């Protein structure tokens, strides 16, 4: 049997390994120069003044919610189709989640979905967290307008979308948002092992993000409250001294992670283009299987950076359930996954909020299946996946 094709995986090359080895031979394993270089390069790449690295995108979402001042009594709107971390980050800071429905053919929250979620929340919403699902972007012009009219903070969950553009702006430039959160998990376009980052145009938010990722500590004398303890006899800052005006977390990324991230960042355009080319080839190869099997509908308001190759399958129509198809594909060396069970259907959230009506999210979930997509694939791999899928469906 041919080699196994997982639904996603990293592409690590010799120069990536050399970059990590150089850090391992150096003086800094964490909180050193590689972190700064990576943050500066990421900010420049996406066109934002500030990038704050962190240990994971989940940490980044948590930091963004903290920086935005979300807390008990506040509500944030989250699309129902996303990974649980988007909603969980709101709960970490004591906020309530209002789930918005999504387009059943894209998995994206539509402007009308957001408007209805805001109405259900009674208009008192602190933040909106749109999700760029599978690497395809939300309609940020409309989402931003509605969010601003509601007086809410806009935090992009861009974990799938590094390298994408919305309108003329790169995702992460925060042209229409307050913060953007990225993931560098191995299945993402850029891999750091684990890792994340938050970008912003706001220096106040950037300072809060950086402070909260490192226990909430400050070392700037101008920010100290106990000046008697903070100052030496000559009025200068005591070099060992720090204060904690409010607690944060240990969410720092290491120099090891950031060295890998910096090396990978130099290949981002190549990786994104490879994924786009493979997604286009999937589109062509899957055409004969329509309407029983078809890719996500492509929108006209973004240039995606495809993270996932999601297909929508009429399982009743093909006479085969999803689990059986996934097992059959796996037996032929092809991995697949489901992205995602609507978060509102998780037991925790059902106990908390009941079972909201989300017809778009439920229809999306009933049909979605993620097929292999990663930069190390070839068009021949795509053809193998589609041919195997067709064979299993027609058997």
Spell out where the chain has E strands: 50-54, 75-79, 96-100, 127-128, 153-157, 165-166, 169-170, 179-183, 196-200, 293-295, 302-303, 309-313, 368-371
In the sheet with 368-371, reading across from the earlier edge strand, the strands are 293-295, 309-313, 368-371
C-alpha–C-alpha distance, residues 253 and 232, integer Å: 32
Residues whose CB falls within 8 Å of the CB of residue 356, separated by 6 or more in sequence, listed in order: 99, 344
Where the chain has pLDDT below 70, the residues are 1-2
DSSP-derived secondary structure letter, 26? S
The pLDDT value given to residue 343: 98
C-alpha–C-alpha distance, residues 87 and 100, integer Å: 11
Residue with structure tokens 């068009």?
A: 379
152 by DSSP, 3-state: which? coil
The pLDDT value given to residue 2: 64
The pLDDT value given to residue 167: 85
Domains of the chain: 14-265 (3.40.640.10), 268-394 (3.90.1150.10)
Return the half-sphere exposure (C-beta side, CA atoms, 13 A cut-off) of residue 328.
16
Exposure string (b/e) for 26-40, b if CB count within 10 Å is 16 or more? Answer: eeeeeebebbebbbe
DSSP-derived secondary structure letter, 222? G
189: left (phi over 0), alpha (psi -120 to 50) or beta: alpha
In order of 12, 18, 42, 265, 386, the CA distances from 190 in angstroms are 10, 17, 11, 7, 26
Residue with structure tokens 């399958």?
A: 313
**β-pair partners for 303:** 165
The pLDDT value given to residue 339: 98
**385: phi then psi, degrees, rounded to nearest 5:** -60, -50
In order of 11, 107, 230, the CA distances from 185 in angstroms are 12, 21, 40
Q: How many CB atoms lie within 10 A of CB 389?
A: 24
Do residues 128 and 150 lie in contact, with contact meaning Cβ atoms separated by under 8 Å? yes
**β-pair partners for 75:** 96
Residues whose CB falls within 8 Å of the CB of residue 354, separated by 6 or more in sequence, listed in order: none
pTM for the structure as a whole: 0.97
136: left (phi over 0), alpha (psi -120 to 50) or beta: beta
110 by DSSP, 3-state: which? coil
- Give ∠ CA 257-370-195 in degrees, rounded to 5: 15
342 by DSSP, 3-state: which? coil
C-alpha–C-alpha distance, residues 395 and 47, integer Å: 50
Q: Could you tell me the maximum CA-CA distance found in the chain, to the nearest angstrom?
A: 84
170 by DSSP, 3-state: which? strand
**133: phi then psi, degrees, rounded to nearest 5:** -70, 130
C-alpha–C-alpha distance, residues 321 and 43, integer Å: 44
The pLDDT value given to residue 379: 98
DSSP-derived secondary structure letter, 101? P
Residues with active-site annotation: 188
Do residues 353 and 346 lie in contact, with contact meaning Cβ atoms separated by under 8 Å? no
The pLDDT value given to residue 1: 45
């Amino acid at each position: 049997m041919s080699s196994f094709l997982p639904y996603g995986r990293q592409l690590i090359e010799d120069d990536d390994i050399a970059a990590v080895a150089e850090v391992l031979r150096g003086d800094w394993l964490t909180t050193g120069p590689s972190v700064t270089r990576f943050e500066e390069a990421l900010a420049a790449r996406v066109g934002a003044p500030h990038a704050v690295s962190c240990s994971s995108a989940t940490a980044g979402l948590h930091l963004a919610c903290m920086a935005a001042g979300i807390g008990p009594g506040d509500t944030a709107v989250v699309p129902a189709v996303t990974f649980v971390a988007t909603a969980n980050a709101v709960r970490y800071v004591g906020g309530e989640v209002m789930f918005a429905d999504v387009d059943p053919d894209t998995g994206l929250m539509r402007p009308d979905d957001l408007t209805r979620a805001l109405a259900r929340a009674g208009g008192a919403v602190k933040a909106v967290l749109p999700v760029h699902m599978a690497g395809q972007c939300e309609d940020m012009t409309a989402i931003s307008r509605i969010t601003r009219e509601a007086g809410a903070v806009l935090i992009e969950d861009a974990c799938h979308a590094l390298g994408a553009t919305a309108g003329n702006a790169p995702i992460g430039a925060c042209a229409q948002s307050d913060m953007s959160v990225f993931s560098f998990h191995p299945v993402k376009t850029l891999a750091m092992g684990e890792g994340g980052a938050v970008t912003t145009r706001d220096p106040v938010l950037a300072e809060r993000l950086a402070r909260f990722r490192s226990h909430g500590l400050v070392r700037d004398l101008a920010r100290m409250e106990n000046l008697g303890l903070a100052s030496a006899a000559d009025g200068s800052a005591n070099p060992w001294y720090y204060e904690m005006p409010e607690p944060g977390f240990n969410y720092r990324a290491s120099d090891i992670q950031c060295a890998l991230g910096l090396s990978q960042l130099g290949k981002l355009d190549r990786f994104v283009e490879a994924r786009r080319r493979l997604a286009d080839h999937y589109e062509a190869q899957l055409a004969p299987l329509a309407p029983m099997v078809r890719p996500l509908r492509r929108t006209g308001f973004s240039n995606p950076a495809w993270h996932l190759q999601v297909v929508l399958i009429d399982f009743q129509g093909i006479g085969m359930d999803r689990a059986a198809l996934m097992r059959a594909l796996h037996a032929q060396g092809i991995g697949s996954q489901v992205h995602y069970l609507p978060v509102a259907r998780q037991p925790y959230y059902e106990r908390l909020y009941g079972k909201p009506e989300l017809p778009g999210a439920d229809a999306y979930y009933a049909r979605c299946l993620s097929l292999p997509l990663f930069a190390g694939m070839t068009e021949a791999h795509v053809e193998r996946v589609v041919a195997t899928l067709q064979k299993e469906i027609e058997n």
